[in-house]
Structure 1
Amino acid sequence: MQTERQIIHMDQDAFFVSVETRKDPSLAGKPVIIGGTSDRGVVASCSYEARKYGIHSAMSSRMARMLCPHAMFIRGNMDEYSKASHEITDILRQHVPLIEKASIDEHYIDMTGMDRFHHTQLYAHELRKKVIKETGLPISFGLSVNKTVSKMCTNECKPNGELNVRQPEVRNFLDPLSIKKIPGLGEKTFMKLSDMGVRKIRTLSQMHPDQMNTVLGKNGLVLLQKAKGIDISPVIPYHEQKSIGTQSTFKTDTIDVASIHTLLTAMVTGIAYELRQKRKLAACITVTVRYSNFEDVTKQAVIPYTSLDSVLIHKAKELFNQVYQKRMLIRLVGVRLSNLVSGFEQIDLYSDSREQYSLYQAMDKIRSRFGEQAISLASTMNINL
């Protein structure tokens, strides 16, 4: 008999707002909005009190202010949120056998087989209390047989909640829920299924696979499996999170720092786009220089979680300037982003410029449709190294 999987999904409650409230307790219980503070800004996160007014992430600050004029706007500090995220991850890693950091504020934990030693729900409860006690940040968890159902459990019991759904209860838990509750089901898919009369998970689970494949392709078959409570995806160990990077060897060795800065800009722009396509954020950047004598020198820096070109370009140039000290001819430069987690803040939601937000989205759409070389920054057009 196959052992029933025991997957815990732990998710911070309104994480960015919680970090701000830890710093300023007077914010507790108030409608708080994190993001750009001008009318051209964008909402990055908001408190549950603000959500009651219909406010949500990626909404314009102007619209949010119209919906809730008395809301408290805070620009936000990604550096503080990243540090708080690392705090939580460090606590969890010390007490569980297998953990995946799914995003800046959520983790999956695989406790399969460990119920022989620990009652999993009680253990998760004690672990949740430990995180709250040591960090002062609220957290909720869902426990079930796979990642999809455990995440949906968490979403249903937030904020400040716990929910355990065992295998015999999975279908009874899922069936009455809206299909909107399924992780990964976007607005366009929701509208398409709604037009077909499919609004509840029960209805979706009864669809024929051929019909789902015709309407939505492979994604339709994945959604059908999720609607039935089936998800075999593993919990991926946090330390195995991959990095992405690129390097360039020059035609001739050079000391042209200005041209190397231009090349770094182009390199970072490319891997930042790749990062966003994979819906990832990076917390570490590394720059490598290879001198003409084949000596490699590397410099890295921990950064707030980001996938934004401008932040990464600035840091890459800064690291290059720190590492290039010998004034010797350079043969190669490389840039690598690591400590990757899944993330939805694909553009700088703290920027007061909604035009910049729209520009990055537009550039990404052009690259996705016509290729990465279809559009680039003007400053990188004449690289000749």
Structure 2
Amino acid sequence: MTAAAVVLAALGAWTDYPELVTLGLAAAATLLLAAAWLVASPKLTVVREVRPRRVFEGGSAQGTLTVTNVGKRDSPPLLVTETVGGHRTTVTVPALTAGHSCTVSYPLPVARRGRYVIPPVELGHSDPLRLLHRDRAAGGELVVHVYPRVHILASITSGGPQDAEGQTTSSAPLGGVAFHSLREYEPGDDWRHIHWGATARTGTVMTRHVVVPDEPRQLVVLDTGSAPYPSPQFFEEAVRVAASFCVAAERSGLPLQLRTTGGAQRESSGAALEFLCTAESSGADRGLAALADLLRDVVSGTQGVALTVVTGRVDTEAAQLLMSLRPRLLSVSLAQLVSPDNTLPARPRGVLTVAARGSEQFASNWNRLVLR
């Protein structure tokens, strides 16, 4: 349109043809009016929500946008564009009269695991003749976590049942019901735990130190080296298996720690799943060759640990290492995500080993073996 206005005006002036000049000026005036329309855009408020903010692979998330016209004139129809992970979703908001609002909902493309930073939405509107278009950002950034797909896994009850009156240590987490010792009262302690007899004898307010008794700690180690996996898809399946073990530990009420051969460490199921959203394999990662250093504090500790290693194909050296660790741990389990070729996966002696092509098949094989 701009080019046409310039060409018409110039051609009319060069050929001394006033009708062309008039057409060029009319086109220019139309563009100016369109620009003025966009500059005097209606006053809008935008409220955006994304629910849920944490979703598992295969689930769905939905965006909800409420646009309110707080100005004195009607607003034209709007095009709202949401960008998630490079994918653009566009929805239409109808024209709004002054003081009215409209709420639109739309699905978000969150099929793959990851941490998605969603930028502000783009509100776009045009002049009545659709000559010019203007976009403006509205709302703030939002973050959506897509957790790995999780399968139900049976837990191995190594270490015996959880006992409220079991063995305790001073480093055990607070909030349990097992008595460990007496100590001086500290601000914030529950008054119901004050030991009045000891307080009377010592002249100092003493309280019962109650903790969660020692329980078999579930340690899940994910191999983040790229060498054991035939393709990136096998690493994706390994991440899903590691996530499934983390959720199984939480469901059983057992203390959990997730570690990777790359050095990452998380202490709870929620933190583990959030980390696994963005876990990647690396050729620079030593893989299970780093396992001895990774578990040095575990095998020298006093608390019982049930170790689960999630990896691809295991070589002879790694298999020997797992067998050497077995006497110092409550149990050692090995999850292998391997391709269906003629080479049998390693099965270290004394180590519960389950191999599969994918996480779903692994869950079926694992549950069949553990629950039989």
Give the TM-score, by structure 1 length: 0.21
Larger radius of gyration: 2
Bigger RCO of structures 1 and 2 (CA < 8 A, at least 6 apart)? 1
More helix by share: 1
Higher strand share: 2
